[in-house]
């Protein structure tokens, strides 16, 4: 485990509530942040993939980060998504979030134009040089088309501001290779809800979770049980939630989780194009799984 951990346990990759997809609903955003914290979540991620950062305007992106920091009032760490496929813009946004009091930054690999491993090293180091708070490198090749190699993580670990990895490449063998190489130089977080326990078993210290939008207490508890040595009980929770995890990813994230949070009255469920409302048949399955887990929908 690397020093100065950002959080240990579960961080929710928060949705951004909208009013008919047109503007951020800050009243709902405040309610959601407070409910998450009151439910025992360990940290919150704003303006990430689940927060639809790619369709927020610059003004909205900055406003959402500032709002979350103020609403949390230091009760849990706020991690701001400030990555981009334009290094200069990522630096600008990261500086803003750091100055506004974000506790850490989640930096996705560049998408579309992508990058070589050398390009990734240059980008992450440039961002890390520009801010005061720690960085989490976000590896999600299914969305970006680029994978951070274990040797690249080792090189990045030399920078004092590069603290952790959100690993969502889905390849447990590759993540094991990374854990072997970096040892205690970087902290590892699962980026996939169906791999929380497998990644904890490789030395991970938590998860950045979509599931915890619905189940903050239980997702955090899953991690705590594992850390307490109650592996069987932790695994029991992992398997218990697998069906709803599958339902939450049966369409591109965050379409299903936005739909689920609509049923829990935390938002109107609207998403911004090119995302669309959830297909009726898939929504039916999702609601069934929510009811099986005793959610009031």
Domain that holds residue 91: 9-228
Return the CATH number at 57: 3.20.20.70
Q: What is the pLDDT of residues 119-173, one digit of tens each?
A: 999 999 999 999 999 999 999 999 999 999 999 999 999 999 999 999 999 999 9
The string of DSSP codes covering 67-114 is HHHHHHTTSS-EEEE---SSHHHHHHHHHHHHHHT-SEEEEEPP-SS-
- Our answer to whether residue 158 is catalytic in this structure is no
Catalytic one among 166, 224, 258, 262?
166
Instruction: Specify the pLDDT at position 97.
Output: 98
Residue 267 has pLDDT above 80, yes or no: yes
Residue 3 has pLDDT above 80, yes or no: no
Q: Is residue 248 part of a domain?
A: no
Catalytic one among 96, 138, 189, 226?
138
Predicted confidence band at 4 (pLDDT cuts at 50, 70, 90)?
confident
Integer Cα distance of 95 and 285 in angstroms: 42
- Our answer to whether residue 166 is catalytic in this structure is yes
Beta-strand ranges (E) seen in the chain are 9-13, 18-19, 23-24, 43-46, 78-81, 104-108, 135-139, 162-167, 187-190, 206-209
Instruction: Specify the pLDDT at position 114.
Output: 95
| Total count of domains within the chain | 1
Averaged pLDDT, 106-127: 97
Q: Is residue 198 part of a domain?
A: yes
Q: What is the pLDDT of residues 183-225, one digit of tens each?
A: 999 999 999 999 999 999 999 999 999 999 999 999 999 999 9
For residues 145-170, one letter each, b for 16 or more C-beta atoms within 10 angstroms of the residue's C-beta and e for the rest, the string is ebbbbbebbebbbebebbbbbbbbbe
Q: Is residue 115 part of a domain?
A: yes
Q: Is residue 268 part of a domain?
A: no
Q: Considering the chain, what percentage of its residues have pLDDT values greater than 70?
A: 99
Averaged pLDDT, 23-40: 98
Residue 1 has pLDDT above 80, yes or no: no
Integer Cα distance of 125 and 202 in angstroms: 26
Integer Cα distance of 220 and 262 in angstroms: 22
For residue 97, which of 125, 43, 134 has the smallest C-alpha distance? 134
């Amino acid at each position: 485990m690397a020093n100065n951990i950002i959080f240990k346990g579960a961080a929710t990759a928060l949705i951004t509530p909208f009013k008919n997809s047109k503007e951020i609903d800050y009243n709902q955003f405040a309610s959601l942040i407070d409910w998450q914290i009151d439910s025992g979540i360990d940290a919150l991620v704003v303006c990430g993939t689940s927060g639809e950062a790619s369709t927020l305007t610059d003004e909205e992106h900055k406003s959402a980060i500032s709002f979350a920091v103020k609403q949390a009032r230091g009760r849990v760490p706020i991690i701001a998504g400030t990555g981009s496929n334009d290094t200069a813009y990522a630096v600008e946004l990261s500086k803003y979030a750091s100055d506004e009091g974000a506790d850490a930054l989640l930096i996705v690999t560049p998408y579309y134009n992508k990058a070589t491993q050398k390009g990734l090293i240059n980008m992450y180091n440039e961002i890390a040089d520009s801010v005061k708070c720690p960085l989490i490198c976000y590896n999600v090749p299914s969305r970006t088309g680029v994978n951070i190699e274990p040797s690249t993580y080792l090189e990045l670990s030399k920078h004092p501001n590069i603290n952790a990895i959100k690993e969502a490449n889905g390849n447990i063998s590759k993540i094991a290779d990374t854990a072997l190489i970096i040892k205690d130089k970087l902290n590892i977080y699962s980026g996939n809800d169906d791999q929380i326990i497998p990644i904890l078993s490789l030395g991970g210290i938590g998860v950045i979770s979509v599931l915890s939008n619905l189940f903050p207490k239980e997702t955090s508890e899953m991690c705590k049980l594992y850390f307490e040595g109650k592996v069987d009980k932790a695994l029991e929770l992992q398997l218990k939630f697998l069906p709803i995890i599958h339902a939450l990813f049966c369409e591109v994230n965050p379409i299903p989780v936005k739909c689920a949070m609509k049923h829990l009255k935390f938002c109107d469920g609207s998403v911004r194009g090119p995302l669309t409302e959830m297909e009726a048949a898939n929504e039916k399955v999702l609601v069934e799984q929510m009811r099986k887990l005793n959610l009031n929908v």
